[in-house]
Structures are given as C-alpha cells and as structure tokens.
Amino acid sequence: MGEVVTRTLTGWGLTMPSTAEVMSVFDADEIAAALADPGIRGVLARGAGRSYGDAAQNGGGLVFDLMGRTSFDIADDGSVIAYAGVVLGDLIPQLLARGRFLPVTPGTRYITVGGAIAADVHGKNHHRDGAFGDHVRWLELITADGTLHHVARDGSFDEQRIFYSTLGGMGLTGVILRACFDTIPSPTSAVCVDTERFNDLDSLMASMVAGDDNYRYSVAWIDGTAKGAKLGRGVLTRGDHAEPAQTSGQKATVVPTGAAPRFASPSIPLSPLNRLTIGLFNEAYFRRAPKNRAGEIQGLTSFFYPLDVLAGWNRVYGPGGFLQYQFAVPDADSDVVRTALERLGAIGAPSFLSVLKRFGPGRLRSPLSFPIQGWTLAIDVPTRVDGLAEVLDDLDELVLAAGGRLYLAKDSRMTPRTLERGYPQLDEFRAVRADLDPRGVFTSDLARRLQL
Ligand SMILES: Cc1cc2nc3c(=O)[nH]c(=O)nc-3n(C[C@H](O)[C@H](O)[C@H](O)COP(=O)(O)OP(=O)(O)OC[C@H]3O[C@@H](n4cnc5c(N)ncnc54)[C@H](O)[C@@H]3O)c2cc1C
C-alpha cells in the first residue's frame, strides 16, 4: 500500500481548503486494495491540483495521488500512451522532437493527463479541434468495486457509456489509470501569430466571428477594467504551428517542459493587486500590444503558457484567494459577454485575466463536458470584492436563461440547481454513476456541494 499523508488541499484559487488522507498510488492492484475499504467519506483521484475550486478535494476522505508514475510512450503515428499522473509539459519536448504537439492544451502545461480527461479541458483551438476528450482513443478506468475497465471510443455500447461519461466526469466515475490519445503535427517548436488590438468589444467579437475559422488557435485577452466606450477592448492573438520556412533566421525558440518555473511570485500576506495596480497593468498591456502585426514567430511558452513563467502567481491575490468565473453561452447570446463585463466593472472587480474564446460544437455524449458552441468568457476575480456574490448570482441567471453553463473545473460557488439547469443531461451522468458506483465511493468536495 502506498504512503499515506494527512494534507490540507486547495484548488488553484486557494479558496475552500479541506484536509484529506493523501495516498500515493502506482498500480491497479494498489488502487483496488484501497478501494476495498474506502471509509465513509469516500475516495477521489487528484492530478496536479490546477482546477480552481474544490473539484480535486475530498475533505475527511481519501485522495489518490497518481503523480509518482510518470512513464509514457509515443508511437510512430504520434499517439501517446501515458499514465494519468504524467504532466502535459513533460510530454512536450518528446512530442516536438517527433514533429508533434498536444492535441489540446489549456493555459498551463502543469496539469496531468488524468486532469485533462476528467475535466475534458479545452484550449485556444476548440473551434477547430474540439476538447481533449475528442482525441482520446481509449482509457483504463478503475471503478468502485476495484475492476479495471479498458474502455475505447469505438468499443461496445457499455464501454462507450463509461468512456464518454469519464470525459468531463470530474473523477466521479473512477480512477483513470492510463490513456491513449492522438496528437497533432507541429513541424517546428514555434507558432506563427497574428495580433490585433481592438478598442471596443463589438469590433473584437466581430473579428473573431469573421476570422477565427482561418486559424487553428484564437484567444482574446480583454481589459477587464475598461469602461464606457472602451468596454471590452482587447488584444486578439491567432495563429498556427509555424512551418520551418517561417522560422528560418529566427532565434531558437524555448521548448517548454514540465519543470518548475524559474521565477516565483512573492508570498505575501496582503494582496498588492488592487483596482489601481490592475488598472495600470491592463492599460500597459493593452498599449504594449501592436495594433496589427502579422506573421510573428513566437515560442510555444509565450503563446500557450504566458503565466507559467511565474511560479505560484495565484498567491498574489492575497490570503482570500480568488475565483475564476467561466461561462459558455450560445452564439446568439453573445450579449451576455458584454453584460458580464459591465456588471463586474460596475462593482470594480479588478481582473487582470479576462479571456474570451469561441467554442465549436460540444460533445453531447459526455453529459458533464463543458464546451457548447458559442462564446466562453473566463474572468479571474479576487473573492474579497463587495457585491461580487450578488453580481455573479445575477450573471448565472443570464447564462442559464441563454442555455449556457458554468465550468466545473473552475467553479467554487455554483449551487446544485445551477448545475442541473446548465447541464440538462445530468441525469444520464447520474445513471452511469449509479451503475458503476452504487455505494457512492467516488466523491469530492465539489460533488457534495453540488449534490452530484
Ligand atoms: C493557469 C491556468 C490556466 C488554465 N487554463 C485552462 C484552459 O485554458 N482550459 C481548460 O479547460 N482548463 C484550464 N485550466 C483548468 C485546468 O486545465 C483543469 O482544471 C485541469 O483539470 C487541471 O488538471 P490537474 O491535473 O491539475 O487536475 P486536478 O485539478 O488535480 O483535478 C481536476 C479533476 O480531475 C480529476 N482527476 C484528476 N486525475 C484523475 C484521475 N487519474 N482519474 C480520475 N479523475 C482524475 C479530479 O478528481 C478533479 O475532479 C487552467 C488552470 C490554470 C491554473
């Protein structure tokens, strides 16, 4: 049996800590043995703890840490077979050496394969390539009775039911032990990027609608502090993996890995981020961006992972921590994006990270997968802002009325009713869970909070 340590765990937002017994596990037998006696507070697998809220916590219960097993193989066709605890950043150098890249990557490379599958993460290419789960061929799942299931995308009806519910299933169908997924070509370790600056939200969104399909990657940073005519002004960066001819003569790009960042953000009892500093940061960031620049060759780190260079940047919000409010709404309801920026701006919620992306079609067969066709806005906000709870409750209503939803991997404040209304296939997920785990062995702080 693996080593067990009592630890207080949080998500990336540093809110809602809870204490659990954390057990390092390496193989299926060890996991099955631990599942034979799960205790009354149940069990949960945790990855790198990069989800923002309480998704990877199980207060008073057992948490499996799978990050000790880091082996993976890359086949000739570029597909990867990796243990769930492998960090995506550790795959990147080996993939690039073969002219390949991750099929989908979130805004940090410090997440695990298990976390990518369980949250069905999306990147800047959802409109083109879908979510991480769209590239998974098969996975191994250990369910509550200790059985190891090999379930494939093209497997039997029963296999597919487990497979698709596990994509986005937030660890509640069982423990993902290993998975096989496809990768995409990346002829160089650089991205060829077009950047445009927009003075208002309408022109930014119109440009995304008109042009995103011409690019593999697209993301807009929005100045979350701009108001009035400048509301929603932002910087749109779009691009694709660079071809060798495009990078010749350019200085070598840095190949990112899963290694720890070189610079650490200060650990401070009081947050230096306030309305003034964030306003100044946003103004400077906006002005620094070129009005229009085409064909810039950027290293993968600066394009995909700009925040990864600063270790522990989540601590700069101070002791109260922060939350990320991320919603998705259908194309027809793009006005919710404007209202969200207006309402959060009106209470002076200081945000230096507001990101707008477009989603392609979602995957209906995965009941808890977040993306739906349309817009997604993610805004970081410190929790200690007057009026924040009321504004977010109001925004929830607008999002739900539009047929939209909130992202479980970022959530720390949803109610059971918000979840039910946002995810109309929730009962399908509950039915799969009831079959696989009738005693409710797999659970989490998030699952208890949302009565999942
Ligand atoms: C800076 C930053 C940027 C981000 N950008 C994006 C983005 O662009 N797009 C996006 O989609 N997300 C984004 N995220 C969120 C992040 O990608 C997800 O929360 C991801 O799930 C984190 O992976 P993890 O390995 O840290 O998992 P954890 O946070 O540890 O766990 C997340 C969930 O996965 C489950 N899980 C983990 N491992 C297993 C396993 N082996 N078996 C079963 N269940 C398991 C856990 O139980 C939990 O429910 C970002 C997060 C940060 C901090």
Query: How is domain 72-186 classified at the CATH fold level?
Result: 3.30.465
Ligand 1: distance of its center to the CA of 300 in Å?
20
Query: pLDDT of 244-291, one tens digit each?
Result: 999 886 654 555 555 555 444 444 444 556 777 888 888 888 888 899
Say how many C-beta atoms besides its own lie within 10 A of residue 106's C-beta: 21
Containing H/E element for 332? Answer: none
The pLDDT value recorded for residue 251 is: 55
User: Does the beta carbon of 125 sit less than 6 angstroms from any atom of ligand 1?
Assistant: no
Ligand 1: distance of its center to the CA of 170 in Å?
9
Tokens coding 246:
């495009």
User: Does the beta carbon of 219 sit less than 6 angstroms from any atom of ligand 1?
Assistant: no
Q: Which residue has the higher pLDDT, 21 or 269?
A: 21
User: Does the beta carbon of 117 sit less than 6 angstroms from any atom of ligand 1?
Assistant: no
User: Does the beta carbon of 12 sit less than 6 angstroms from any atom of ligand 1?
Assistant: yes
Query: How is domain 190-422 classified at the CATH fold level?
Result: Vanillyl-alcohol Oxidase; Chain A, domain 3 (3.40.462)
Ligand 1: distance of its center to the CA of 253 in Å?
27
Cα distance between the two ends of the chain:
29
Helix (DSSP H) and strand (DSSP E) numbers for the chain:
14, 21
The pLDDT value recorded for residue 270 is: 45
Cα–Cα dist 8/268, whole Å: 19
Tell me if residue 175 falls in helix, strand or coil. strand
Ligand 1: distance of its center to the CA of 111 in Å?
6
The pLDDT value recorded for residue 264 is: 47
CA 48, chain centre distance (Å): 12
Cα–Cα dist 1/30, whole Å: 6
User: Does the beta carbon of 56 sit less than 6 angstroms from any atom of ligand 1?
Assistant: yes
Query: pLDDT of 177-235, one tens digit each?
Result: 999 999 999 999 999 999 999 999 999 999 999 999 999 999 999 998 899 999 999 99
User: Does the beta carbon of 46 sit less than 6 angstroms from any atom of ligand 1?
Assistant: yes
User: Does the beta carbon of 226 sit less than 6 angstroms from any atom of ligand 1?
Assistant: no
Q: What is the largest CA-CA distance in the chain?
A: 62
Cα–Cα dist 266/269, whole Å: 10
Computed from CA positions of residues 215, 408, 338, 13, in that sequence, does the dihedral angle turn out positive or negative? negative
The pLDDT value recorded for residue 310 is: 78
Ligand 1: distance of its center to the CA of 132 in Å?
11
The closest residue, in CA terms, to atom 18 on ligand 1 is 51
Q: What is the DSSP string of 73-96?
A: EE-TTS-EEEETT-BHHHHHHHHH
Ligand 1: distance of its center to the CA of 269 in Å?
27
The pLDDT value recorded for residue 278 is: 81
Adjacency order of strands within the sheet including 354-359:
292-299, 190-198, 234-241, 217-222, 354-359, 374-382, 322-329, 405-406
Full-model pTM:
0.96
Query: Residue 2 is which amino acid?
Result: G
The closest residue, in CA terms, to atom 45 on ligand 1 is 171
Cα–Cα dist 262/72, whole Å: 25
User: Does the beta carbon of 20 sit less than 6 angstroms from any atom of ligand 1?
Assistant: no
Domains of the chain: which residue ranges? 4-65, 72-186, 190-422
Which atom of ligand 1 is nearest the CA belonging to 44?
47
CA 393, chain centre distance (Å): 22
User: Does the beta carbon of 106 sit less than 6 angstroms from any atom of ligand 1?
Assistant: yes
Query: pLDDT of 113-166, one tens digit each?
Result: 999 999 999 999 999 999 999 999 999 999 999 999 999 999 999 999 999 999
Ligand 1: distance of its center to the CA of 32 in Å?
23
Least confident piece of the model among 20-24, 64-68, 230-234, 271-275: 271-275
Tokens coding 442:
């797999």
Ligand 1: distance of its center to the CA of 411 in Å?
11
The pLDDT value recorded for residue 123 is: 98
Least confident piece of the model among 66-80, 202-216, 346-360, 388-402: 346-360
Task: Provide the angle, in degrees to the nearest 10, between the axes of the packed helices 201-211 and 335-346.
Answer: 150
Across the range 447-452, mean pLDDT stands at: 97
Across the range 364-372, mean pLDDT stands at: 97
Strand spans (E) along 11-50? 18-24, 43-46
Cα–Cα dist 94/87, whole Å: 13
User: Does the beta carbon of 118 sit less than 6 angstroms from any atom of ligand 1?
Assistant: yes
User: Which residues neighbour 276 within 8 Å (Cβ) at sequence distance 6 or greater?
Assistant: none
Ligand 1: distance of its center to the CA of 118 in Å?
7
Contact of 336 with 398, CB cutoff 8 Å = yes
Tokens coding 343:
């309402």
Cα–Cα dist 441/35, whole Å: 8
Query: pLDDT of 294-340, one tens digit each?
Result: 999 999 988 999 888 777 788 877 778 889 999 999 999 999 999 99
The pLDDT value recorded for residue 282 is: 84
Query: Which residue out of 23, 35, 46, 313 has the highest number of ligand 1 atoms within 8 Å of its CB and is therefore the one to mutate?
Result: 46
Give which of 144, 156, 234 is closest to 437, Cα–Cα. Answer: 144
Query: Which residue out of 18, 31, 50, 411 has the highest number of ligand 1 atoms within 8 Å of its CB and is therefore the one to mutate?
Result: 50
Which atom of ligand 1 is nearest the CA belonging to 55?
49
